Structure 1
Amino acid sequence: MRFLPLCVLILLSACQVSKRPNLAELYQQHGTDHSNTPLILIHGTMGSKLRLIESQEEVWPGKINQLIFSNYKNLANLIEPSGMALMASKIESYAIFDSYSGLSVYDEIIETLIEFGEYQLNVVNLPAMPGRNLYVFNYDWRQDNVHNAQVLAHYIDQVLIKHPGHTQVDVVAHSMGGLILRYYQRFGDKDVLTELNQIKNGNPYSKASVIRHAVFLGTPQLGTVKSVKRLQQGFDFNLRNIPVEVQITMPSVYQLLPHPDSQPVVNVDGNPMELNLYNVDFWQQNQWSIFNPAVEERIIKQATDEASGKAQVTTLKLFFEHQLARAELFWEALSPAYEVDHEGFIIMGGDCKKTLNKLIVERNGAAVKLNDDFKPDDAYEIRALHKSILFEPGDGQVSKSSLLGQIHDSNTHKTTKTIKIKYPVFVCEEHLKLTQNLTFQDNLLHVLLNE
């Protein structure tokens, strides 16, 4: 047996290239003159912990047995009898969902920013610290995105008051948090959904100048078809289902429905269908969601008496219709028609996981069924076709086209860009693990400290 001399082995090992970037070497004690800009991290849907205001008892995610076995009916918002608005909430967001039972969500990105970016974690009611300050904006993700944009506006004002030497902030927004940021950038703390026509020729509310860098991570810029199924069937979480009657009380779920122009519903050949998901009559005709007799029966059965149960169903139906209309206006407010001047978004996300992006219509007489998977009993050619129609690359939750805000018209083969992008960064990662991805962390630190 022949052995390489020790000196050769040393040389070979010295020449080996590390497959992982050294974040400490790259970013510690580095940065431009602007790298002390205050940084705000915004979580996505379900990304903050919720508790009862009066008792301080945590209701999301709660104890381990809740996460596994609860249907979380106590997360339902209370609705005014008119169905037009929510009652004052008895629940509040109080902390970011950092990690839970071994599941890392946001703790790793916070630790990376602190260790390698040399940020100091701060809160708005304490004085500013020397150097780089990191603030975590947590919000009640069940609420209307416009409402949460208003809360964000106040939060950013508080941060800038603490930093009189700065007129801008950097923002990193994950998932649905990016939609809240986009709305804030355009309209600040104003609810403009009922007055869009009045500001089409001039928007006096823009806050674009307040944002230095807007970094979006896994944000569904065109919504997601999975929200249709959430309103139809509830949300499967761990071993349980968070039922329809809980989901439909959350305005944010409606505002994650597919963009009205994104052609999310197709026939078996992949051709777009003219089905308006924002028309309440469509849901009612097909007995979906709150219009499903089984859901109505369940609500009435669980009420204190039949009369109050029926009244609750009526209120929920009115609320459902109102929220569909409001969600459609929300997407209109984020359309290019109301764009404001900004440097362009830095978009980061996954593009190597099979991701649901369309729903296939199956008709049974007058009834419509929306399929989100191919049928295993179909012929191979049909299964392959439907698989190619339903799915596209993404992060398993958000498709690449939604990440980029790009609508492709299958008839004209033209692509409409709905957002202004400075540049994109793609990683091979699933949605909930994006914040842990080293390539994302490397690129994020470069943006914040060197650009």
Structure 2
Amino acid sequence: MDLASIKTGLLVVLVLLASCSGRQNIYSPSTGPLRKVLTQDLDFANPIIIIPGIGGSKFIDSRNGKVVWGAFGYNSYWPATEQENKLLALPLNQSAKNILLADNNITTQSVLDTVKIEFLPPPFVSIEYSVYLNIFKSLTMAGFVPVDERDHHLHMPSSKGKPVFQFAYDWRKSNASNAKRLDAYIKAISKQLTENKGLGSYPKIDIVCHSMGCLMARYYLRYGDQDLGTLDNPPVLDWRGASKIENLVMVAPPNKGSINALNYLIHGFHISPFKYFKYPSAVVGTMPSVYELLPRKDIVNAVNQDGFPVNLFDPKLWLKMQWGLVDPKQKSVLRQIAPEYHRESYRYKQAKALQQELLKKAFLFHSLIDAPATPPDGLKFWLFAGVGTPTVSKIMINTSNRTYSKLKNDAGDGSVLRESAYAIKNTELPREGSLIHWNNAMFFYLPHIELVKSNDFLVNFYYVLFWRKFIPVDR
């Protein structure tokens, strides 16, 4: 794509965003004729933690405060530049020491409420695209009190009100690794809620997660702060993370994966709708979380040119297809993100080894969250998913010419198939039900990122939070 096309496309995006800004009224039970009755029900609600999906937390350069991820333009790095690639990529050798060094370069600042496009410094006008702003704003309008988080410490509100937290995390890392951070976060919350008597007594907490954040939440509930382990020595499934949680509200969850992950690892990653701001596949290929988003074989049926099944977790397939980290076209990016390897052959060898390792660990992660298990009493699961956008369900991988094509679409949100969101056990035998013990599942005619911003979702979401307590047929 030439520079003129990119500029034209960017201008179109900016015009559309500018024309849409400020149009939507955000639903909250604090508005409307029944607001006094409905907001009184807030007394029956739990504190809430919002967990965003992949790309849903803002990254800051620890050295100079510039935005690495979550904004475009003034005081932020441009995608696919050498500086940005170096900062955003994780090391090819992902030892604990190297990951710690990478952590020192980037600070995870906050949940990405909006993506800001700002080409000139203030006081010039910037354009902001809502991501998680709607749900957070709706909750505060309803009477929830946002908790101030500074310097990685929680500062509880002095006024009475149900607290709402936003869990920002390094979405590049494995969901198992981030589940350990979530465990520490929830323990800190529980301690402060217990110590601060003025906020009342809260025996339980609710989690509201979007997209990949739901995979992390599910791992946390099952395994708590346990590491991923190995196939021979996996973590113990004892639901140790569930003791403080009452409701897990999942919005557009890729419970059995998404075809988008394969696209990201092959072609690069961008925040929807900013497709002109793309991050290279070699950068994405260093991120364990993206491999954990790859679809199960019954969700996206992958076949070769002869019609035989293809295993998307087979490292030999990735080598043969020259995907991601082993793509020859990504050599220049690999030089940028791994300059410590002075010989190209060593750099390629390490990239190949990392890709193989991350595919293996992703397969293990899937086996752990797919393992059949009955949740403890009192833990409830709620699904909000989209079915209004054709979503890829079958692909053909041609190993002779190294191409792949889409063969079939089915109902989904454009990123996640309905069967994946519902976590159906077996797509061939749907009557076997779901891997998850749902208390309720609701489907909307909405695409992936729009679902979490929808007023239709918010209306039903408040039913889950507290109105359901007055309906005896709920279990």
Q: Which TM-score band (shorter chain)?
A: 0.7 to 0.9
Equivalent of 1:31, from 37, 41, 53?
Answer: 41
Which amino acid letter does the alignment assign opposite residue 219 of structure 1?
Answer: P
- Do 1:44 and 1:174's aligned partners in 2 also have CA atoms closer than 8 Å? yes
User: In the alignment, is residue 155 of structure 1 matched against residue 188 of structure 2?
Assistant: no
Alignment partner of 1:231 out of 256, 259, 265? 265
* Secondary structure, counterpart of 2:207 in structure 1: strand
Residue 293 of structure 1: CA displacement? Answer: 2.5
Aligned-residue identity in percent = 25
State the shift of 1:344 in Å: 3.9
Change beyond 3 A, Cα 1:156–1:205: same
The DSSP-based 3-state class of the residue aligned with 1:436 is coil
Q: What is the TM-score with the length of structure 1 in the denominator? A: 0.81
Question: Counterparts of 2:27 and 2:136 in 1: how far apart (Å)?
Answer: 18
Aligned to 1:358: 394
SS in 2 for 1:249: coil
> Does the 8 Å contact 2:384/2:441 carry over to 1?
yes
1:166 aligns with 2:202: yes
Partner of 1:442: 459
**Alpha-carbon spacing, 1:166–1:344, altered in 2? closer, same or farther (3 Å):** closer
Give distance in 1, aligned partners of 2:340 and 2:107: 29
- State whether structure 2 residue 147 is matched by structure 1 residue 130: no
2:99 is matched with 86
Correspondence for 2:295:
258
Residues 302, 320 of structure 1: alpha-carbon distance in 2 compared, 3 angstrom cutoff: closer
1:292-303 correspondence to structure 2 within 5 Å: 292-296=327-331, 299-300=334-335
Change (3 A) 1:40 1:345: same
Q: Which residue of 2 aligns with 1:220?
A: 254
Distance 1:94 1:47, change over 3 A: same
Q: Which runs of 5+ in 1 are unaligned?
A: 1-19, 373-385
Corresponding residue to 2:88 among 75, 79, 84: 75
Alpha-carbon distance in structure 1 between the residues aligned to 2:363 and 2:434: 18
Equivalent of 1:45 in 27, 41, 54? 54
**Aligned partner of 1:281 among 308, 313, 316:** 316
Compare 299-308 and 438-447 and name the one that shifted more.
299-308
Which structure carries more relative contact order (alpha carbon 8 Å, separation 6+)?
1
Is 1:103 the counterpart of 2:112? The answer is no
d(CA) in 1 for partners of 2:338, 2:354: 18
Q: Distance in 2 between matches of 1:141 and 1:303?
A: 20
2:376 counterpart residue number = 341
Summarize the Cα distance change of 1:127–1:137 in structure 2 as closer, same or farther, 3 Å threshold: same
Displacement, 1:268?
Answer: 7.7
Structure showing greater Rg: 1
Q: Using the TM superposition, give the Cα deviation of residue 360 of structure 1 relative to its aligned residue in structure 2, in angstroms.
A: 2.3
The 8 Å contact of residues 227 and 253 in structure 1, kept in 2 or not, is answered as yes
Q: Report the Cα distance in structure 1 between the residues aligned to 2:465 and 2:41, rounded to whole angstroms.
A: 8
Judged with a 3 Å threshold, the aligned counterparts in structure 2 of structure 1 residues 414 and 361 are, in CA distance, closer, same or farther, namely farther
Q: Cα distance, 1:284 vs. partner? A: 1.1
Counterpart-to-counterpart distance in 2, 1:94 and 1:282: 37
Cα offset for 1:336? 3.2
1:193 and 2:206 aligned: no
CA shift at 1:260, angstroms? 4.8
Work out the CA distance in 2 between the residues paired with 1:430 and 1:106: 15
Q: Is the 8 A contact 1:215 1:346 kept in 2?
A: yes
Q: 1:395 aligns with which of 390, 395, 413?
A: 413
Q: Could you say which residue in structure 2 is the equivalent of 1:177?
A: 213
Q: Unaligned 5+ residue runs, structure 2?
A: 1-25, 116-126, 195-200, 470-475
Alignment-derived partner of residue 473 in structure 2: none
- Indicate conservation of the 8 Å contact 1:300/1:310, yes or no: no
Alignment of 1:373-388 (within 5 A): 386=407
CA–CA separation in structure 2 for the residues paired with 1:251 and 1:302: 16
Name 1:208's counterpart in structure 2.
242
Q: How does 1:52-63 map to 2 (within 5 A)?
A: 52-63=61-72
Report the residue type matching 1:193 in the other structure. Answer: G
2: CA distance, partners of 1:397 / 1:29: 35
Q: CA deviation at 1:218?
A: 0.7
Cα distance, 1:52 vs. partner?
1.6
Indicate how the Cα distance of structure 1 residues 84 and 280 shifts in structure 2: closer, same or farther if over 3 A, else same.
Answer: farther
Aligned mates of 1:264, 1:369 — CA distance in 2 = 16
1:49/1:38 CA distance change after superposition, 3 Å: same
Helix, strand or coil for the counterpart of 2:278? strand
**What corresponds to 2:145 in structure 1?**
120
Contact 1:77 1:250 in 2 (8 A): yes
> How far does residue 87 in structure 1 lie from its aligned partner after superposition?
4.7
Give secondary structure in 1 for the equivalent of 2:385: strand
State the Cα distance separating 1:69 from its structure 2 match. 5.5
Question: CA RMSD for the aligned pairs?
Answer: 3.0
Shift of 1:331: 0.4
**Alpha-carbon distance in 2 for matches of 1:207, 1:81:** 27
Residues 65 and 355 from structure 1, CA distance in 2 versus in 1: closer, same or farther, beyond 3 angstroms? farther
Aligned to 1:375: none
For 1:62, give the aligned amino acid: A
Partner residue, 2:365: 330
Q: Which amino acid aligns with 1:265?
A: A
Q: CA deviation at 1:98?
A: 0.9
Please tell me whether residue 421 in structure 1 is matched to residue 458 in structure 2. no
SS in 2 for 1:45: coil
Secondary structure of the corresponding residue to residue 254 of structure 1: helix
- Cα distance in structure 1, aligned partners of 2:177 and 2:28: 40
Distance in 2, Cα, partners of 1:29 & 1:198: 45
- Give the match for residue 243 of structure 1: 280
Matched residue of 2:93: which SS?
coil
Q: In the aligned structure 1, how far is the partner of 2:304 from the partner of 2:432?
A: 20
| AA of the residue aligned to 1:326 | K
